[in-house]
């Protein structure tokens, strides 16, 4: 009989993301991941590959549910100037409320792994470039519509 998953993949990936986010890649052991995800080692390896492969999936998951969704919401619901202001307001509020005590997983990863892992460095660079593009595009759109002095 073929092996059948007994867990929700997205939920397990979110839990892995949270573990890496809280402790970093190097400080998070496979046992930490197994405990946090609520699955056994065999299921982890069969579903996600090794620790590094799981980290890359978790990093991409973080990017999709945090940064990409955040940028999309700002663009869709606000004028260009309001989007830029809201971006800074939301980050400042998160820091002041203690909700971001673990920082940004992308920035943490840039510091911990990017210097010696080209694939992870490329993932981080793409995400940060897209964030930079958000600000540049919103500022340019604000200049074009007169909201932001040029």
Q: Tell me phi and psi for residue 33, to 5 degrees.
A: -65, -45
Q: pLDDT of 43-99, one tens digit each? A: 999 999 999 999 999 999 999 999 999 999 999 988 999 999 999 999 898 888 876
Q: Is residue 30 over pLDDT 60?
A: yes
Name all domains of the chain by residue range, CATH numbers in brackets. 9-145 (1.10.357.10)
Q: Which residue has the tokens 């840039």?
A: 110
pLDDT bracket for residue 2 (50, 70, 90)? low
**d(Cα 136, Cα 127) in Å, to the nearest integer?**
14
Q: Tell me phi and psi for residue 40, to 5 degrees.
A: -90, 165
Percent of the chain with pLDDT over 90: 85
**d(Cα 102, Cα 23) in Å, to the nearest integer?**
8
Q: What is the pLDDT of residue 96?
A: 86
State if pTM tops 0.75: yes
């Amino acid at each position: 009989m073929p092996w059948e998953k007994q867990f929700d993949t997205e939920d397990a990936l979110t839990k892995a993301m949270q573990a890496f986010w809280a402790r970093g890649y190097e400080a998070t052991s496979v046992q930490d991941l197994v405990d946090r995800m609520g699955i056994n080692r065999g299921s982890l390896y069969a579903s996600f590959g090794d620790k590094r492969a799981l980290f890359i999936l978790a990093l991409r998951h973080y990017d999709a549910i945090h940064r990409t969704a955040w940028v999309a919401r700002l663009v869709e619901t606000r004028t260009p100037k309001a989007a830029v202001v809201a971006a800074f307001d939301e980050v400042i509020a998160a820091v002041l409320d203690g909700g971001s005590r673990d920082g940004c997983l992308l920035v943490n990863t840039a510091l911990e792994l990017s210097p010696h892992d080209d694939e992870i460095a490329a993932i981080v660079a793409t995400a940060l470039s897209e964030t930079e593009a958000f600000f540049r595009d919103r500022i340019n759109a604000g200049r074009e519509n007169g909201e932001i002095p040029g």
